[in-house]
């Protein structure tokens, strides 16, 4: 993460160098508070073989191994209160000509929603995709978002000003999960059927899983701005981003560490309503109301490695087992609404 801090520090240094050179730049600083909600989905969907209670591969009546389609989905909640701060630079003579803006955002509390873990499987030619496990766990969360963006006006149509936008965003999310509350069904390898559901609520204060994901996202987009009155301005922003991600999923109860990396794309859309508390002053307080939606979709290969024996397979010692090349998907949808109260200097 140090390289991302270095990139932003250099860009900010260049920005403030421009301020010093021009002597014609206005700086605004705005702390913010907001509420985020949404989820990040972690999906594994593979074809594999399964073993019976004696550790032998399950076969059909002809002795051929049965192919099982296995799907696992974890949904990590994002409903938290967030705080942050932004610094913005604009030219005094024409504030809408260009801008450079940088910010930081983190969460204040833990999600109130639970992390949801669902598992399905299907035996090709025998039964369709069947949900056999569903559990929920409480989450403790840490997050950090850093971003910087620059805009340049390219067109004016009446009261609407259109600018191109380029930027960079780094986002890191960590969650510790506690407890297991839900149900499961037991698989019978002889009849290829599942039992009725049995329910449980265990390990309430026990850390059962750790998840971490990092996104690196260059951005390009458009910004539309217009003055609604001498004190009120509105801005609409649409951004496309290619992305690179890395994630870590530590199933502590199973002594299994899963890691993956991959690429994808994302979309960011936001609307901002700016209100100047005082007019006719270069140094004046303002209030910004904002709403942002982010959707990210990515895929890559996952590696699973057991650093200890897995209780889920009591007839074998899994320590040291390593599986590579598993297809892995990450989907995230996040909404963020809030308010910034700042000062133009």
Q: What is the pLDDT along the chain (345 residues), one digit of tens a residue?
A: 455 545 554 455 554 444 444 458 889 999 999 999 999 999 999 999 888 878 889 999 899 999 999 999 999 999 999 999 999 999 988 888 999 999 999 999 999 999 999 999 999 999 999 999 999 999 999 999 999 999 999 999 988 999 999 999 999 999 999 999 999 999 999 999 999 999 999 888 899 999 999 999 999 999 999 999 888 999 999 999 999 999 999 999 999 999 999 999 999 999 999 998 876 555 678 999 999 999 999 999 999 999 999 988 777 888 999 999 999 999 999 999 999 998 887
Q: Which domain holds residue 325?
A: 2-12+71-113+134-344
- Confirm whether 50 is domain-assigned: no
- Confirm whether 160 is domain-assigned: yes
- Confirm whether 97 is domain-assigned: yes
Residue corresponding to tokens 């009849």? 191
Say how far residue 31 (Cα) sits from the centre of its chain.
Answer: 22
- Confirm whether 52 is domain-assigned: no
DSSP strands (E only) in 277-314: 285-306
- Confirm whether 287 is domain-assigned: yes
pLDDT digits (tens, 9 = 90+) for 40-50: 999 999 999 88
Encoding tokens for residue 200?
């449980």
Q: Rounded to whole angstroms, how far apart are CA atoms 102 and 147?
A: 6
- Residue 52: the pLDDT is 83
Residue 185 CA: distances (Å) to CA of 119, 182, 195, 197, 253: 11, 11, 5, 5, 18
- Residue 215: the pLDDT is 97
Beta strand pairing call for 98-107 and 80-91: antiparallel
- Residue 219 region, left (φ>0) first, then alpha (ψ -120 to 50), else beta? beta
How many structural domains are present in the chain? 1
Encoding tokens for residue 228?
């609604």
Q: Rounded to whole angstroms, how far apart are CA atoms 318 and 308?
A: 7
- Residue 19: the pLDDT is 46
pLDDT digits (tens, 9 = 90+) for 320-340: 999 999 999 999 999 999 999
- Residue 270 region, left (φ>0) first, then alpha (ψ -120 to 50), else beta? beta
- Confirm whether 216 is domain-assigned: yes
- Confirm whether 320 is domain-assigned: yes
Q: Rounded to whole angstroms, how far apart are CA atoms 171 and 130?
A: 35
Give the domain CATH number at 277: 2.40.128.90
- Confirm whether 218 is domain-assigned: yes
């Amino acid at each position: 993460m140090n390289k991302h801090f270095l990139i932003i520090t250099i860009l900010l240094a260049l920005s403030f160098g421009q301020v010093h050179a021009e002597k014609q730049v206005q700086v605004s600083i705005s702390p913010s508070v907001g509420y985020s909600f949404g989820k990040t989905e972690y999906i594994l969907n593979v074809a594999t073989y399964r073993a019976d209670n004696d550790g032998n591969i399950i076969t059909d009546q002809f002795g051929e191994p049965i192919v099982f389609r296995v799907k696992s989905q974890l949904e990590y909640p994002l409903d938290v209160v967030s705080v942050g701060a932004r610094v913005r630079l604009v030219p005094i003579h024409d504030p809408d000509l260009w801008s450079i803006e940088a910010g930081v955002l983190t969460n204040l509390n833990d999600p109130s929603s639970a992390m949801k873990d669902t598992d399905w499987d299907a035996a090709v030619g025998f039964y369709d995709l069947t949900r056999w496990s569903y559990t929920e766990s409480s989450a403790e969360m840490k997050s950090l978002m850093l971003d910087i963006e620059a805009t340049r006006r390219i067109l004016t149509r009446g009261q609407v000003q259109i600018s191109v936008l380029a930027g960079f965003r780094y986002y890191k999310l960590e969650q510790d999960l506690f407890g297991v509350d839900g149900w499961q069904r037991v698989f019978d390898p002889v009849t290829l059927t599942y039992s009725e559901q049995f329910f449980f609520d265990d390990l309430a204060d026990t850390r059962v899983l750790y998840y971490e994901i990092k996104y690196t996202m260059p951005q390009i987009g458009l910004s539309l701005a217009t003055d609604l009155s001498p004190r009120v301005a509105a801005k609409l922003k649409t951004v496309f981003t290619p992305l690179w991600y890395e994630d870590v999923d530590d199933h502590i109860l199973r002594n299994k560490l899963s890691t993956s990396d991959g690429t994808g794309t994302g979309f960011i859309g936001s609307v901002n309503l700016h209100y100047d508390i005082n007019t006719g002053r270069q140094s004046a307080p303002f209030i910004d109301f904002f709403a942002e939606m982010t959707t990210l979709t990515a895929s890559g290969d996952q590696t699973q490695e057991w650093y200890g024996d897995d209780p889920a397979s009591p007839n074998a010692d899994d320590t040291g087992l390593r599986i590579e090349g598993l297809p892995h998907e990450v989907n995230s949808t996040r909404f963020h609404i809030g308010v910034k109260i700042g000062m133009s200097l």
